[in-house]
With several copies, the nearest count.
Chain A
Amino acid sequence: MHNLQLTDDQEMVVDTVKKFVVDSVAPKAQELDEHRTFVRDWCDALAELGVYGLSLAEDKGGAGMGLVPFVAALEAVGEHSGSLARLWIGQMQAVMALESVGGDLLDELAAGSKLAAFIGAEHGFTFADGRLTGSAAFVPAALEADVLIVVAGDAVVQVDASACTRTATTGLGLNSAACGRVECDGVGATELAGADAHKAELVALVGTAAAAVGAGVGSVRVGRNHAAERIAFGKPLLAQQAVQRKLVESTRRVEAARQLTWHAARLADLGGDAADAAAHARITAVDAAVQASDEAIQILGGYGYTVEYHAERHYRDAKTFEVLDGGSNALRDRLAAKAFV
């Protein structure tokens, strides 16, 4: 009953992604994160599953399925790897920004033969006379991307990644997502006339919301499993009301975030203005993920503080999601500006 809104075709895609995640991602995610290993294989595997073109219009070579199956599948990814979820989001931002442009680059991005890093307007890059200037801290995929898609004022431009200075950063989370600092000092770049930066932003909002819902689900699972096994004071930890309450509240918050996320995706797919709904979903989901992972750590106690039980990874990733793409507080300010100014 959960996926009330998915067609059979959509559900098949989502199930395929889920199977890949459970089989291939889940067993290795924590270890690769600890060693800050970039997960190119997984990006390629997603490409093979054909999901980078999932929401792309059919006449542009995509599956034309809209955002609903995207958020459903992304939740499954986020449950096990925030890094992979973020990489998919970045790629999807590039694809959807270019939907209205078309061309070889779009084909390559949708096929996954090229990996993109997307740099949003919040970094304030400038583009003039074919030259791109600016810098961005902590861009997911930056270190490994083939191409950067950059919003620079009103323009959206593409730039060869190797032409930019890219520096590794030892950040809080998303350790397998090749996050890094990007600097462009008058690098030659090509404008993508007609590209849709707003669409890319919407993808980031609902995508981050979905990934965070996944992190919340994963956190609850980790906490619940531990509590069911761990014996303290003569009974499973899960028999303690205080532990149950943590899990119930985390579940409830994550469920609220999920409904907001699905609502935003549905609204967008129906052609409505989903900007506010997506912002609500994103803020709520990231908060829910931070809380759920924080509670999971607490339920696991000392074990939760180690890098072996996933909870700490979800916690770091959730906080990192919070500040990406301008951050939740900037979103709150934007909602305010739109409503009240």
Chain B
Amino acid sequence: MTSAVQVSDFQLSPELVEFQQKVRAYTQEHLKDAARYDAEARFPREAVAAAAKLGLLCTTVAEEHGGSAMGNLASCVMLEEINSACAATGVTISVHNSLVNSLLGKWCNEEQKKRWFPKMVTGEWLGAYCLSEAFSGSDAAALRCEAKKNGDHYVMNGAKLWITTGSEADLFVIFARTGEDRVNGISAFVVEKTWDGVSVGKKERKLGLRGSPTTEIVCENVKVPADCLIGEEGIGFKIALDTLDGGRLGIASQSLGIARAAIDLMRDHLGKQVDHKGRPNASQPDQWDFADLASDLDAYRFLTWRAAVLRDQGVRCSTEAAMAKSCASRLANRAARRAVSMLGLAGVDGSNPAERLLRDARITEIYEGATDIQRLVIARGLLA
């Protein structure tokens, strides 16, 4: 899955700039209702469908399977754009591409790919990634959901929690225990929504990202055909972690998008304050904070692109992806908080996106590996 497009001297290639503009046009046309998705906790189905039409749900899929094979860097560029307008749409697309499609492409056999990709690349089906459980979040290997081999199938029992797109997805990648070993007893399966025993459990009511349904996915004696096992038994945790490197790039890009939106709000706010000669005369502390945040936005975008390029080149990028996610997600929160402060009452009264950005940003430090887990990955990587 090598990207056809590159970063050279910190500039995107012309192909990527063109792609970026295409995505920007999409966001302007289709993501106007972000505030409403949030207020009504309504899944942005039409927006996701429109994205699918434009081929935005298949960026991490090879061309032979119907994908655009644009790769991780292109996905990052795309996700920053989308998330700057609507984080609920952004995470839906990020999970579909970075966690599900890229996993299927990398770890499934040809037959499996042919079975699922036709629906996944078109967005006819949406994907969800089911790793966390009630008692295993950061400590993912503590998962308890089990899949017992029984002839030509497995019997799966367990409940997965915090599943993004849970109630809207058609294809679930579910990590389940096939053996006792904490790490090597975990395997990955594809489970389809329509199968007997698969149900959507509790839907979370959340601080933000309310347009993206986060639900429990419950498996009760689900008969999972053996040919839905991904790769082989026991490599599930390895698959999960490898996939998360890519997922983290998606969340880093989401964070950049949210940060950018917050910084844009500040820019508008500061830009309006001029003296009688039209020169900026906004509060210096406000301007300085804006300058610091805008600098970090550029810096952490480079961190994100660097990791994406490595992943596109097939180089392991756990440390680099963790750096990108950790830095970008903290920036998103800092920027959104600062935007609210700077806008004052207009920052909290819902008359502009500031307060939504603050609520949406908060999840980026939590999901797909909380900040402290990113720091652990980085420290281990650098101290090794």
CA distance A330 to B136 in the complex (A): 31
Tell me the count of chain B residues lying within 8 A, CB to CB, of chain A. 46
Give A138 to B348 CA distance when docked, in angstroms: 8
Determine whether the beta carbon of B206 is less than 8 Å from that of A232: no
**Contact string, A75-103, partner B, CB cutoff 8 A, digits 1/0?**
00000000000000000000000000000
- Interface segment among B95-103, B243-251, B279-287: the answer is B279-287
Q: Complex formed: what's the CA distance from A329 to B283 in Å?
A: 10
CA distance in complex: A323, B136 (Å):
37
CB distance from B135 to the nearest CB of A (A): 7
Q: Does A134 contact B (CB under 8 A)?
A: no
CB nearest to B288 among chain A residues: A242
The reply on A166 being an interface residue by CB < 8 A is no
B340 touches A138 (CB 8 A): no
Instruction: Let me know if B350 is at the binding interface, CB within 8 A.
Output: yes
Residue A37, interface by CB 8 Å: no
Is residue B382 within 8 Å, beta carbon to beta carbon, of the partner chain? no
Interface size class of A (residues with CB under 8 A): 35 or more
Contacts of B371 in A (CB 8 A): 298
0/1 string, A211-246, CB within 8 A of B gives 1: 000000000000000000001110000001110010
The B contact surface, by secondary structure, is helix
Q: Is B49 an interface residue (CB 8 A)?
A: no
CA distance A291 to B297 in the complex (A): 22
In the complex, A233 Cα to B284 Cα: how many Å? 15
Bound CA–CA A170/B39 (angstroms):
9
Report A16-52 CB contacts with B as 1/0, cut-off 8 Å.
0000000000000000001000000000000000000
Q: Give the chain A neighbours of B286 by CB distance below 8 A.
A: 329
Cα–Cα distance between A323 and B340 once the two chains are bound (Å): 8
From known contacts A245-B284, A304-B366, infer whether A34 and B205 are also in contact, taking CB-CB under 8 Å: yes
CB of A297 within 8 Å of the partner chain: yes
Given known A138-B348, A328-B341, contact A231–B135 (CB-CB < 8 A): yes
The stretch of A153-161, A187-195, A200-208, A308-316 in contact with B is A308-316
Q: Decide yes or no whether B52 CB sits under 8 A from chain A.
A: no
Are A171 and B340 touching (Cβ within 8 A)? no
Interface bits B355-371 vs A (CB < 8 Å: 1, else 0): 10011001101110011
Which of chain B's residues has its CB closest to A320's CB? B348
Q: Could you write out 25 A-B pairs with CB less than 8 Å apart?
A: A137-B349, A169-B350, A171-B348, A172-B355, A181-B349, A242-B285, A290-B337, A302-B161, A302-B162, A305-B362, A307-B205, A307-B206, A307-B207, A308-B205, A316-B207, A319-B341, A323-B340, A323-B341, A323-B343, A323-B347, A324-B345, A326-B344, A327-B345, A328-B341, A332-B285
In the A-B complex, list the 7 residue pairs whose CB atoms are closest, starting with the nearest.
A241-B284, A242-B284, A312-B207, A172-B355, A232-B139, A172-B348, A137-B345
- Taking A301-B370, A305-B366, A326-B344 as known contacts, 15 extra A-B pairs with beta carbons closer than 8 A to each other, sorted by chain A number, are A172-B355, A173-B348, A181-B349, A232-B137, A245-B284, A294-B333, A297-B366, A298-B366, A298-B371, A302-B162, A305-B362, A312-B362, A315-B362, A323-B348, A327-B344
